[in-house]
Amino acid sequence: MTGAEGKGGIPGLAGRVAIVTGAGGGIGGAVAARLVAAGAAVVAVDRDGARLPPTSAALVSLMADVATVAGCAAAVDLALGRLGGLHVLVNAAGGSGRRSGDGPVHACTDEGWDTVLDGNLRAVFRMCRAALPAMVRAGGGAIVNVASVLGLVGGGELFATHAYAASKAGVVGLSRAMATYYAPAGVRVNVLCPGLTDTPVAARALADPPTAAHVARMQPLLGGPASPDQVAAAAEFLASDRASAITGAVLPVDGGWTAQ
């Protein structure tokens, strides 16, 4: 048993350096907290500086937009320059584009499509592109990309944001392609597909009684939303050495949504 495991931690994270994007948000924040508790040093990235956790001994906060090349480079530079390496990347930044014009295809605007694909898919591509050379040089690493159940199955009328669905399905495809290509270099790439999770981005859905009732039906194990920590626990597992033989996996954390 390693020291980290003895303290209730998980092997293979103590002493590792991780970048967590969207770390000011519900899921990214919970992931960053779990990785710090497991003994990792974390670069916590969010474009909304006010939501970021404060810098501490084990966590460096960085206000940056990971949809940009410069934002991704700044995160990697901080990991390598200040924390001395890069072993884990969790891409949790992302969000809904409803306000920018996402919707069902016939009503989705070009702006909505571009905004969502940029923020949810291009950002993951750019962050992985920035991080991979250091992981390959180091002989391996673990990437966990946060997609969604809506990247796996249709959302019907209540979750009719089709650019969002396409962006998350794109994350799944990109991750599987990277998993096979970078496996010989020791880099694992896995995907989490959360169902509805109790974070600010889900507030609109949960405040609408018919949608909340639908979520309770779709997630029968939970009878409602997942907690951010339930998603973070799965991210921690996939980032750790406990998942050392796992790559290209697409893991729903959805209380049974996609089993129906």
Ligand X SMILES: NC(=O)c1ccc[n+]([C@@H]2O[C@H](COP(=O)([O-])OP(=O)(O)OC[C@H]3O[C@@H](n4cnc5c(N)ncnc54)[C@H](O)[C@@H]3O)[C@@H](O)[C@H]2O)c1
Which residues of the chain form contacts with ligand X (CB under 6 A)? 21-22, 24-28, 45-48, 51, 65-67, 92-95, 119, 123, 146, 148, 194, 196-197, 199-202
Give the span between the Cα atoms of 154 and 165, in whole angstroms.
Answer: 8
Q: What is the CA radius of gyration of the chain?
A: 17
Which H helix or E strand runs over 226? none
**Residue 74 Cβ vs ligand X, minimum distance, rounded to whole Å:** 11
Bridge-partner residues for 193, per DSSP? 252
193 and 147 Cβ atoms separated by less than 8 Å: yes
Contacts made by residues 209-218, CB under 8 angstroms, sequence distance 24+:
210/158, 211/158, 214/158, 218/254, 218/255, 218/256, 218/257, 218/260
Which residue's Cβ has the minimum distance to ligand X?
25
Q: Which of 164, 165, 202, 225 is catalytic?
A: 164
**Residue 24 Cβ vs ligand X, minimum distance, rounded to whole Å:** 4
**Residue 193 Cβ vs ligand X, minimum distance, rounded to whole Å:** 7
Residue with tokens 């990109």: 174
**Residue 154 Cβ vs ligand X, minimum distance, rounded to whole Å:** 14
Residue 60 or 196 with smaller CB distance to ligand X: 196
Residue 200 or 223 with smaller CB distance to ligand X: 200
- 212-244 per-residue burial string, b: 16 or more CB within 10 A, e: under 16: eebbeebbeebeebbbbbbbbebbbbbbbeebe
**Residue 48 Cβ vs ligand X, minimum distance, rounded to whole Å:** 4
Residue 26 or 39 with smaller CB distance to ligand X: 26
Bridge-partner residues for 43, per DSSP? 19, 60
Residue 12 or 61 with smaller CB distance to ligand X: 61
Residue with tokens 């796992």: 246
**Which residues contact residue 99 at a Cβ distance below 8 angstroms, ignoring those fewer than 6 apart?**
none
Residue 4 or 146 with smaller CB distance to ligand X: 146
Question: Would residue 181 show up in a list of annotated catalytic residues for this protein?
Answer: no
**Residue 5 Cβ vs ligand X, minimum distance, rounded to whole Å:** 27
Residue 4 or 166 with smaller CB distance to ligand X: 166
251 and 191 Cβ atoms separated by less than 8 Å: yes
Q: Which residues are catalytic?
A: 164
